Each structure stands twice: as structure tokens, then as C-alpha cells.
Amino acid sequence: MNKLYALSALALMALTTVPTTKAEENDSLQPKFSIKPSGRALFDGALFLPNKDGFADGVAIPDVRIGATATYGKFSAKIDIGYGQGVLSMKDVYFQYTHDEHNLIRAGYFVQQFGLNSATSSSMKPQMIASTADSYLNATGRNIGVMYVHDRGPVFLGVTVLTPNSLTVSPSNQGKISIGAVERFVWRPLRTPGAIAQVGFSSWYQTPQHLAVENDEGVKETSTGYFNYSSGFPTKVETVPMLSARINNSKGMFRMTPELLLSKGRFALEGQYYYMNIWRETGYNSYTAQGAYGLVRCLLLGDSEYSYSHADAGLATPKPKTLECVLGYDYMNASDCKAAIMGGISNDYSVTFNYYINKYMIARLRYSYTNVRASDVQFPRHVNIIQARIMFKF
């Protein structure tokens, strides 16, 4: 009788089981298409001391972004549109092929790998505002290009071929296209939570930019090569020029930056040195600029150790409900007497408190003392800035 029941049960299962078709098996193996929206909004307020000469206390929304990332198997695409200080602009716009977990190729409009500062976006800087040296040299600005990234074990390598001209400038108005090549190499023998050691070196070569200008006969001609660099005081509430230089009669530019990152438990040290040389046509002296920044970071409450972000080759964002203190110093010398170009010399001392409320919100409070001298665009002056920020992101 038991055998009869068993045979009956097997017969019933065979009749009710629907066989999987070959088409269904193929569908299950196909990659899935998905879209993930993203966005952020920054709300800043600032006080300026000791006087209001050129500055006004107030509040601002320096950056609002909305975008999305689409993925299909190993392929992805991202578009990000930003609005800040009355200007609508394109941010990240690129396509990406991820060969495996260690190698990818990106093409479009994006921030290239150049120095430790490229590990964090503009709104995620631990000192709230990007260093003046990085801003002046436009070291982590967006460019049109193609980038290859290798990320495996102790080695991180990023190589980019780019053209730095704006998306809004047509080739007919550029005169001659500027092209460049950028690399970042990082060696990180220690990269575990609470024990991180990293050194790196980045270099950048670029041909000069040109303009298409009309001569007396109304015919467009290509201007001599030039480079433009500038940076304002370290605040997003006011836009006040601090450093600026235009290097005409240029033939080419080379810049480099070594980087250092160390972390033990609650403490972290990071910094970069920048050097740039622009050689010029016969009869004009080369232009040299250099700068540096350093940060000492400490986790006061919440998270007890810094973690590492492999994809960015830098420190990961601390966990929610963590309070962090960041002491910073920033120096930039954009004046070169031999080249007769006085872009200015600045020093910036800062202390920043960051409270990582949750994965969607960050609150920052920063005090900085900044001075500038030897500048053709700004008289010698100093300013104390107290500023706060609330950031929402998803």
C-alpha cells in the first residue's frame, strides 16, 4: 500500500510540473536594465569679519543637482544637471564599461583622476570648501575625455586623454583644440579600517587653448596659445576674486602632484603638493606656480576608525551619527616675478566640524582665516569667514 501511495504522488508531481522552456532560461541569463535617480541640495550661510568690504553676510543655495544613472549589464550611463549661483550647467555626462571589478573605461564629461582631491566630489570635501590650490589649477574640474581605471589590491591607476574646452564652446570658436593626458598612480600597502597608508603621484600635460578671432578683413584667425587660472575666496555664499592669471604666448603646460594619506584609528592625515610650469614662446619667460594643502582629521563621536574607499582611492565617508573635526592649511603662490605675471599669493587656515546625520544628510560648520597679497586682481587683505552648511543627498 505504501508503495502505491508513493507511485501515485510521483505521478501527480510529473503531471503538475511545468517544464522550463529554453526561451525562459535565456531570459533569466539576460542582464537587467535599471535606472537609479540621484540628487543633492546645499544650503549655506556665512558671516564675514572684520569688515564687509566686498563681502556681504547672507545665505545661498550654491548647488542643486538632479540626475540619474542607468545600468545594463557591464554598461552604464550617467547624467547630472546642476544649478548654482544663477547658472544652469552640466555636471557628469558619461558612458562607462565595467570590464570586471578591477577595470573600467569611461568616456564623456567627468572629473579625471588627478591627485587625492579627485577622490571626493565638490560637496563632499571634508574641509567643506576645496583647497585654493586645487581650485586655482582646476585640478579636479570636469573635462571631455576617455579614462581607464585599474583598481586591484595595493595598486590604483587612472589614465585619461582629454580636451579641456567647455561643452558650450563650439570648435569653430576655439581656433585650435587643446588636448591633454593625465595619470594618477597610487600605492596603498595598508587599506584596512583603522590602518591606512597611501602614497601617490599624478602628472598632467596639456597643449594651450586658442581662440578664433577676426582680423581687420573679417577673416577668423587662430590666436596665440594661452591658459586661464583663477580662484575666489573660500566661500560659496559670495563670489569675490582672490587669485587670477592669464598666461599668453603659451606653448604647453606640465603639472604634477604627489599625495599622502595616513590613518590610524580615529586620526587621519592627508595632503598634496602642486607644481605647474607653462613654457612660452621665444622672448617670454616660463610661468611657474605652486601650492599645497594639508588636513588633520579626527573622529570625535560615533565612528571610531576611518575606512577606505577602493573605487576612489581615498577615505570613505564616515558612518551616520559621527562627528568629525578637520584642521586644514592651504597655500597657493600664483605670482611669478620673472614671467611678470602676478596672480597672487594666498594662505588659508581652517577648522571644520562635520556631523554625518544619516546617509542622506550632512551638517558642516567651518571657520577660516584667509589672506592674499602680491595679486594684480586683489589688494592685500585678510578675512575671517564663519560658515555653515546643510546638505541633502540621495
pLDDT of residue 261: 98
Q: Angle 343-346-348 (CA atoms, 0-180°, nearest 5)? A: 155
Mean per-residue pLDDT, 320-342: 97
Q: What is the enclosing helix (H) or strand (E) of 108?
A: strand 103-111
User: If we measure between CA atoms, which residue out of 377, 379, 371 comes closest to residue 331?
Assistant: 371
Please give the Cα distance from 203 to 258 (Å, whole number): 9
Better-scored residue on pLDDT, 64 or 21 = 64
Mean per-residue pLDDT, 59-67: 94
pLDDT of residue 1: 45
Mean per-residue pLDDT, 122-147: 94
pLDDT of residue 11: 44
Please give the Cα distance from 1 to 148 (Å, whole number): 70
84 to each of 65, 238, 239, 332, how far by Cα in Å? 9, 12, 12, 26
Q: What is the pLDDT of residues 236-270, one digit of tens each?
A: 999 899 999 999 999 999 999 999 999 999 999 99
Mean per-residue pLDDT, 165-181: 73
Q: What is the pLDDT of residues 6-20, one digit of tens each?
A: 444 444 444 444 455
Better-scored residue on pLDDT, 30 or 44 = 44
pLDDT of residue 5: 46
Please give the Cα distance from 346 to 343 (Å, whole number): 10
Please give the Cα distance from 136 to 231 (Å, whole number): 5
Quick check: helix, strand or coil at residue 169?
Answer: coil
Mean per-residue pLDDT, 128-148: 95
pLDDT of residue 123: 87
In percent, the amount of the chain with pLDDT more than 90 equals 76
Please give the Cα distance from 392 to 394 (Å, whole number): 7
pLDDT of residue 25: 52
pLDDT of residue 88: 86
Please, what is the average pLDDT of the chain? 89
Please give the Cα distance from 258 to 157 (Å, whole number): 14
The set of cell numbers assigned to 355 is 556631523
pLDDT of residue 331: 98
pLDDT of residue 20: 54
Q: How many helices (H) and strands (E) does the chain have?
A: 4, 22
Query: How many C-beta neighbours within 10 Å does residue 259 have?
Result: 24
Binned at pLDDT 50, 70 and 90, residue 161 comes out as very high
Please give the Cα distance from 77 to 55 (Å, whole number): 40
